[in-house]
Amino acid sequence: MASLCSMVLVCVSLVIALTASVTAKIEPAIRNDGIGLDKVQYAVNQSVLAGTHPIGWYSPKGLCSGHYCVHSNRQVASRRGIVVISMSKVREKIDSMKALLDKPSNNQDASPFPFDTIEDADNGLTLLAAKKVRRGTPLMNWTPVFLIHKDFFDDEPEAEQDRLLEAALQLLPDETRQKVNSYRQRPGGGMQSLREFVRSHPFEINLSSPFDKEQSEKHFATYPEASILTHDCRPNTAYFIGPELAAQFTVARKLEPGETVTVSVFDSMLPRAVRQELSHRVRGTNCSCSACIAGGNLMGVTKAEERLREIKSLEELLKDPRTSGVTVKMVDRYLSLYEQERLQSRMMEAYWTAAINYNNLGYEKRALKYVHLAIQAGIIEMGIESNDIVAMRIMAADPKGHYSWQQRLNGFNG
């Protein structure tokens, strides 16, 4: 009996020593993450769980808060992995996309990559053009590492958000986890909290069916590589998220050497007040981009808002074939406003609307010019396989045979 007790005591001592050793190794990281020392033992437990991650989907017990649970898969996206914080049905949807997530074209920067990454004193890691970069130049194409239900951040207390996010990080493959941490570095040292990191570039994905009126499946996707793109409501890149959930970023206008590469995580057509409210609620800070503050020039901000309102007003008229009195001058003004507002990241809609209206008025050459511009912009903004591109090419092949030919001259029948 004495011998048995000695063996038990030795085993207990070894477990305590091992736990203390692991705790000592991860404690600095936890301090840098902004998580208190009361989370240390929890983090040790998650390291153990991550070390025993099975093949396929893994939903560890206890990693739930309200309706939201942590679901991870280290094999998808060619072993880049993904962690979902959402309902089980969402995990099942992602599982059905495995073949798309594993596409060889996913998860790569463009090659060649005419950009430099620097550490900016205010913004941390920042991407700059290393030389003149042409419009249409591919930038990057990556699948998300985190997919988090949009309501998670509103429904759950911050302590629970931190708990599940820290667990999610531990469940990623080692290489992916290290990459996430490398992008979390703050200027001058330290790390962003995971909550701050995932909310700094909240790319929205709606996993609902197009025929489903419910908006309950909107998620924020985290693409660590995109965190070096500076947010700007008038960006110089465009992106789209394909059916494989990969975000493809492309240069939307010519870049000069040393120019900061930017992206907008909100709809650039929204009024400034709405963009500011979204930025504060989602990103936790007011937007200070050139479109929102205009260098402190209040008159410049006011003029920009007036242009947005005029764009909306003209768009409503131009998109309705029953509108009478549409002229070439109106279409030209509409296009001019887009250019003045530096909306190069979403020109497809403007060019397509112009092409249709020029065709409506019987101006074949102008219609052809702008339908080809719409196709070019559409490939940048929506991808070459977009159904909209197919529709545009039909018109480009035969403007006079298109339903819109001289429609405004002949009168609307419908």
73 and 144 in one domain? yes
- Distance in angstroms (rounded) separating the CA atoms of residues 233 and 83: 29
**Quick one: pLDDT at residue 45?**
56
341 and 278 in one domain? no
393 and 325 in one domain? yes
* In-domain check, residue 79: yes
- Distance in angstroms (rounded) separating the CA atoms of residues 144 and 31: 26
348 and 217 in one domain? no
- Contact of 292 with 275, CB cutoff 8 Å: yes
SS3 sequence, the chain? Answer: CHHHHHHHHHHHHHHHHHHHHHHHHHHHHHHHCCCCHHHHHHHHHHHHHHHCCCCCEECCCCCEECCEEEEEECCHHHHCCEEEEECHHHHHHHHHCHHHHCCCCCCEECCCCCEEEEEECCCEEEEEECCCECCCCEEEEECCCEEEECCHHHHCCHHHHHHHHHHHHHHCCHHHHHHHHHHCECCCCCECCHHHHHHHCCEEEECCCCCCCCCCCEEEEECHHHHHCEECCCCCEEEEECCCCCEEEEECCCECCCCECEECCCCCCCCHHHHHHHHHHHHCCCCCCHHHHHHHCHHHHHHHHHHHHHHHHHHHHHCCCCCCCCCHHHHHHHHHHHHHCCCHHHCHHHHHHHHHHHHHCCCHHHHHHHHHHHHHHHHHHHCCCCHHHHHHHHHHHCHHHCCCCCHHHHCCCC
353 and 291 in one domain? no
Residue type, 228: I
Which tokens belong to 371?
């339908």
**In angstroms, what is the C-alpha Rg of the chain?**
26
| Number of structural domains the chain divides into | 3
Q: Supply the CATH number for residue 55's domain.
A: 2.170.270.10
314 and 227 in one domain? no
389 and 348 in one domain? yes
- The residue among 265, 286, 313 that closes a domain is 265
Residue ranges making up the domain that contains 319: 305-410
160 and 232 in one domain? yes
Polymer length of the chain? 414
Which tokens belong to 190?
């330290």
- The residue among 279, 296, 313 that closes a domain is 296
Task: Pick the closest to residue 123 from 196, 236, 267, 227 (CA basis).
Answer: 227
* In-domain check, residue 81: yes
**pTM of the full predicted structure?**
0.84
Burial class (CB in 10 A: 0-12, 13-18, 19+), 216: middle
368 and 242 in one domain? no
Task: Pick the closest to residue 164 from 245, 59, 93 (CA basis).
Answer: 59
Cis preceding linkage at 112, omega within 30: yes
* In-domain check, residue 138: yes
343 and 203 in one domain? no
* In-domain check, residue 9: no
**Quick one: pLDDT at residue 124?**
87
Antiparallel, parallel or unpaired: β 237-241 and 218-222: unpaired
**Quick one: pLDDT at residue 10?**
42
Q: Which residue stretches of the chain have pLDDT < 50?
A: 1-44, 413-414
- The residue among 249, 265, 281 that closes a domain is 265
Buried b (16+ CB within 10 A) or exposed e, 223-254: bbbbbbbbbbbbbbbbbbbbebbbbbbbbbbe
212 and 359 in one domain? no
* In-domain check, residue 126: yes
235 and 142 in one domain? yes
Residue type, 199: R
- What are the φ/ψ torsions at residue 85 (nearest 5 degrees)? -115, 95
Residue 188, number of CB atoms within 10 A of its CB: 8
Distant-in-sequence, close-in-space partners of 253: CB < 8 Å, separation ≥ 6: 135, 236, 344, 345
* In-domain check, residue 10: no
Antiparallel, parallel or unpaired: β 262-263 and 230-231: parallel
- Contact of 247 with 203, CB cutoff 8 Å: yes
Distant-in-sequence, close-in-space partners of 206: CB < 8 Å, separation ≥ 6: 215, 217, 218, 219
